Amino acid sequence: MADSGATTPTVFVLFGATGDLAKRMVLPAFYELAQEGLLPDDWALIGNGRGRKTDDEFRAHVRDALEKFGPGEGVETIDETVWSDFAERVRFAGGGFSVDDAGDLPSVVSDVTDELGGDVQLVHYIALPPSTFLDYTAALGEHGLAEGARVVYEKPFGTSQENFEKLDAAVHEVLDEKQVYRIDHFLGKENTQNLHILRFANGMVEGIWNREHVEQVQIDVPETLDIDDRAEFYDATGAVLDMLVTHLFQVAAEVAMEPPPSLGADDLQTARESVIAAFRPLDPEEVVLGQYRGYTEVEGIADDSTTDTYVAARLWVDTDRWRDVPFLLRTGKMLGTSTQRVSLVFRRPDGPVKHLPEDGAVLSFDLSGDGRVDIAMTVKEPGPGEDLGIGRMSLDLSTVSDAEPLSPYSRLILDVLDGDRSLFTRPDGLAKVWEVAAPLLNARPDVSPYEPGSMGPDEATALATPCGWLVDETS
C-alpha cells in the first residue's frame, strides 16, 4: 500500500478514548493505519478521559478494543511486531478536559511534542456526544490547543437548526473552517465513493442517471442490531438524528449531485452541498417513525420514551435531473436484515415486451464491507416459451485488480492526516440539511410500534409504491 502523504510528526488526541465509539471504530481504524504503514514516521496517540489511567492501563484498554472489534479490515489477529511499536506511542491524559480545568492534557501534549522534536501537527478527535462539542471546542481555545490544529467532530453536528447555528458560530470563534473536519463515515465507504466514480467514468451509466430513466432511488440501511450499550446516546438522538439527517442525506447528495468540474476537494464538496440546497423540506405526511417493541425495557430508557428507532421517508430533489423522482430513505434498529444498499430502479420501457416486473431493472450499490455493485435485469427464462425472469450480476470490489481497501474510519482519519477535506461536510450544506429536516423535527409523527425481526411499521409500505421496498427480511 502506498505511503500516506502526511509526513509531519503528528499528535493525535482522542477525546472520549474509553467510550463506545472509540473502542469500536476509532482505535481499530487508527491501528489499521499503523499496520498498513500509512501513519507518519513520528506520531503519538493520546487518549483523554475523565478518569485516571496509567499509560500501561490505557494500552491494555486499547489492546482489548482491538481484540474485540478487530485490528483492521479483513485482519483477524494482531501483529505483535506492529503492536509493540504502536503501544510505545500510546499515552493517556486523565482528569477530564474543560474550560476551567484542562486536566493532564496540556502537560502530556507538551511532553510528547518535545519527544517528537517540537514541531507537530495536532489532530483532535472528539469522539463524544454532540452535547459536549461546545465545551470541548471552547476548552481547546482556552488552553492553547487550537492554533493550527485539525479538529474532527463526530455526527450529528448539532441536534436542530438552532443548535447547529449556535454550534457552528462557537466553532468558528475558535477555529478556521479549514481546520474543521465533520466526519460522516458513510462518505468514507468505498462504494459510496463509487456512486460518483462509476457514474462519471462510464458513459453508459451517466447517460441513464436521470429522471427520464430512473423511477425511484432507494437508500436502505436496516440493522438487526439493538442499541447495545449506547442507550443514553441513542435515546437522546434517535434514528432521525443518528442516521437520516447525517448518513442518508449525504448519500442522497452523492447520488443526486451534478457533475463537478473535477474530483478535487472543493469541487466535490460544492457539488454535494449544491444539490442538498435543492432538497425539498420533508413533509411529515411522507415520513414514518417507529419504535421496536421492548425498547423501553432496555436499561437506561424511560418507560414513556417516544424516541424513534426507525425512520422511513420520501425525499424530493428539485433539480431538472431528479424532479418528481422519489428518493426513499429507510433505516432502523432490530429489523429483519442488515444491509447498506443504494438502488436505482429504472423505468419500464414502452415497447413490445409487456407485463414487465416493477423491479426488473435495478442498479444497486452495496455499501457494506469492501463494497459490491449489483445489476438486475429482465431476461427471457432459458428454455421453451417466452416467460420472463430477472437475471443478476455482481461485481465485488475486493476482486478489482490491485484493490487495497480501508475501513471507512481509517480512510477518513487518513484524509484528516493528509489535510484532505473532500469527504467531509461543510457548514453551508449542513445548514440546508437542518432546513430540510425542520418540518419533521417541528411536527414529528407519532412513533408506530413494530416487532423485532420485522422490517418496521406497516405504514412505511405505501411510501415505496409502486416498486415496493427492495430489501426485505430475506435479503
Q: What is the set of active-site residues?
A: 247
38 among annotated binding-site residues: no
Enter the C-alpha cell of residue 58.
490505557
Q: Is 19 annotated as a binding residue?
A: yes
173 is in an annotated binding site: no
User: What's the number of CA atoms in the CB half-sphere (13 Å) around residue 7?
Assistant: 3
Tell me: is residue 380 an annotated ligand-binding position: no
CB half-sphere exposure, 386, CA atoms < 13 A: 5
> What backbone torsions phi and psi does residue 3 show, to the nearest 5 degrees?
-70, 155
21 annotated to a ligand binding site: yes
155 annotated ligand binder = yes
CA–CA separation, 244 and 127 (whole Å): 20
22 labeled binding residue? yes
Q: How far is CA 49 from CA 13, 43, 56, in A?
A: 11, 20, 15
Annotated ligand binding at 176? The verdict is: no
Residue 2 labeled ligand binder: no
The burial of 299, by beta-carbon neighbours within 10 Å (0-12 exposed, 13-18 middle, 19 or more buried), is given as exposed
Q: Is 409 left (phi over 0), alpha (psi -120 to 50) or beta?
A: alpha
Place of cell 503501544: 87
Q: In terms of C-beta density within 10 A (0-12 exposed, 13-18 middle, 19 or more buried), how is residue 383 classed?
A: exposed
* 23 annotated as a binding-site residue: yes
**Bind-site residues for substrate:** 185, 189, 223, 242, 333
Binding-site residue set for NADP(+): 16-23, 50, 155
Binding-site annotation: residue ranges: 16-23, 50, 155, 185, 189, 223, 242, 333
